[in-house]
Structure 1
Amino acid sequence: MLRLRLLTWDVKDTLLRLRQPVGLSYAAEAQAHGVQVQPEALGQSFRAAYRAQSRRFPNYGRAEGLSSRQWWVDVVKETFRLAGVHEDAVLSLMAENLYRDYCSAHNWELLPEAGETLSWCRQHGLHMGVVSNFDNRLESILVQCNLRHHFHFVLTSEAVGVAKPDPKIFRTALRLGGVLPEQAAHIGDDYSRDYRAAREVGMHSFLLRTPGQSTQPEVPPGHILPTLSHLLAVIEKG
């Protein structure tokens, strides 16, 4: 058995995923205000707005003194502007509503086996924490999705001030867990931000890769999780 004392987890697309594409959620919000916009157009404009905002103000603009709330409100407004909606009053209302909606379980669902896997790990005495490039809404989302009780700590990139793959966020997790790097493992779905970044600070790590997803050739097969439940066998066998 791997001599692990701490597991750290990514959240988005590892434990939780969006119930529906962003374009559909934004289109439904627009329709509630009498504005018709195609979900596909909103999906495209969201990706463009998000990329531009991330380049201009990395990590929710924390270093520039922005709040993550303002950061997201600006992204939502720009998404609708790029899709042809320009009425300021409606933009502000939709942005505030969507910011609030994405803080609730309404827009999030558990990945298959997430709850059972976390319960098994906790019952087997493993301490657990979250290491996520998320804003400060994550605590509330985890509570509403009935996951928060599994974790001893929740680290977001907004709170720490750096985002994965920066080693500081992983070292902060190790300090909070009171363990050496070799006593900890990180689980996530992103090769560079999760798998490789954790290994670079000396932790074990596992890459969640559902069948059909491409995998980096340098990831050994034993480090790949086709489903979350595969982690249990890896820990017991390791």
Structure 2
Amino acid sequence: MSRIRLVLFDAFDTLITPRLPIHVQYAQEAHKHGFSESVITPATVRSAFKPAFRKTTELFPEWGRHAEPKMSPSEWWMMCIEETMRMAGAEQSKLEEVMPRLGKALLDRFESAEGYRAFDDVVPCCESPQRAWIPYGKLTMNVVTQLKQAGVKTGLVSNADDRILKTLDALGITPLLSHGTTISQIAGYEKPDSRIFEAACRTAGIESEVTEGATDKHDENGEEHRQFQGVLMVGDEVEADYHGAVSAGLEARLIRRPGDFSDGAKRVSEEEERETLHRDGVHVIRSLKEVMNEVKHRNGL
């Protein structure tokens, strides 16, 4: 196998995850802003969030990118939050009164280390007595830094709006990525669309090429099969991250850490999918440390 030149990471449930389930955090902020704990509960928010997200997406696709007038992602999320609270049982007059403050509190929370945390194999964190979250990557080497020191480029590909950039900054992840982020809201394509992977590769200065020695160099449309040699995509969603990357001509690794995954992740439990993953030959890893081990092996380090 070729040496690894570039590793691309998904964001949610690959590098970062909510500190608490999103519906719990929404309910907490609602209670701080005067909503009754007997009305707005984690359960009512959980049942409301996906329908509200779907409704807002149908009305204003791609975080309002094509709305007239054009919406910012923050404006889009304010609408989604308001619809979530309404569906969760919030009284309308009270919602109209507190929504500007409640919406801003939730936006700020999920743009910071209060709402999200990095997994321990990305930027390990330790807690000070003052509950300030300090990037442990400043004290010890993390996997992404190891890749950089090994001469391997790194980047991120995420189906998200640009608010995730603030989250990555807050968690100390952005400086670790040598070739930045490719975000669907900005790129105009969502995984598993091949074009978003191609854009990320080209940002890192890597172009596709025809695989030497391939027995079938053309697809059913007569176009050449092209590969991004030495590029690895790591993510947690089978279709978006794994099959999307493979279809674009990259290699892929599906990460399956022990434990639960966050609400909204487009996957089922490992037990439910194990047979399918085995049948399809999906390469599963348990930790980002396995990526570093593969780099060392393939790059002769």
Shared fold, TM over 0.5: yes
Aligned residues: 237
- The TM-score normalised by the length of structure 2 is 0.74
- Tell whether 2:76 aligns with 1:71: yes
Q: Which amino acid in the other structure matches residue 158 of structure 2?
A: S
Aligned-residue identity in percent: 28
Q: C-alpha offsets along residues 169-198 of structure 1, whole Å, 9 cap, x if unaligned?
A: 111111111113122111110111111111
- Tell whether 2:46 aligns with 1:46: no
Q: Which aligned pairs between 1:120-131 and structure 2 lie closer than 5 A?
A: 120-131=146-157
Q: C-alpha offsets along residues 185-236 of structure 1, whole Å, 9 cap, x if unaligned?
A: 1111011111111111111111112356234434436x21122212222333
The SS at the match of 1:182 is coil
Once residues 156 and 206 of structure 1 are traced to their aligned partners in structure 2, the CA distance between those partners, rounded to angstroms, is 20
The SS at the match of 1:106 is coil
Which residue matches 1:206?
A: 253
Q: 5+ unaligned residues in a row in structure 2: which ranges? A: 124-141, 208-227, 259-268
Which residue matches 1:25?
A: 25
Structure scoring higher RCO (CA < 8 A, sep ≥ 6) equals 1
Any conservation in 1 of the 2:9–2:157 contact (CA below 8 Å)? Answer: yes
1:59 Cα shift?
2.3
Q: C-alpha offsets along residues 87-143 of structure 1, whole Å, 9 cap, x if unaligned?
A: 212123211221121111111111131232212211211111111111111222111
Q: Which of the numbers 229, 238, 242 marks the counterpart of 1:191?
A: 238
Any conservation in 2 of the 1:21–1:43 contact (CA below 8 Å)? Answer: no
Which residue matches 1:133?
A: 159
Once residues 31 and 253 of structure 2 are traced to their aligned partners in structure 1, the CA distance between those partners, rounded to angstroms, is 41
Once residues 161 and 117 of structure 1 are traced to their aligned partners in structure 2, the CA distance between those partners, rounded to angstroms, is 30
More moved, 166-175 vs 54-63: 54-63
Once residues 171 and 208 of structure 1 are traced to their aligned partners in structure 2, the CA distance between those partners, rounded to angstroms, is 21
Q: 5+ unaligned residues in a row in structure 1: which ranges? A: none
1:51 Cα shift?
2.4
Q: What is the root-mean-square deviation of aligned Cα atoms in Å?
A: 1.8
Q: Which aligned pairs between 1:136-215 and structure 2 lie closer than 5 A?
A: 136-151=162-177, 152-180=179-207, 181-211=228-258, 213=270, 214-215=273-274
Any conservation in 1 of the 2:63–2:185 contact (CA below 8 Å)? Answer: yes
- Give the 4+ runs in structure 1 shifted more than 4 A: none
- The TM-score normalised by the length of structure 1 is 0.92
Which residue matches 1:114?
A: 122
Which residue matches 1:94?
A: 102
Any conservation in 1 of the 2:44–2:89 contact (CA below 8 Å)? Answer: no
Once residues 249 and 84 of structure 2 are traced to their aligned partners in structure 1, the CA distance between those partners, rounded to angstroms, is 40
1:56 Cα shift?
3.6
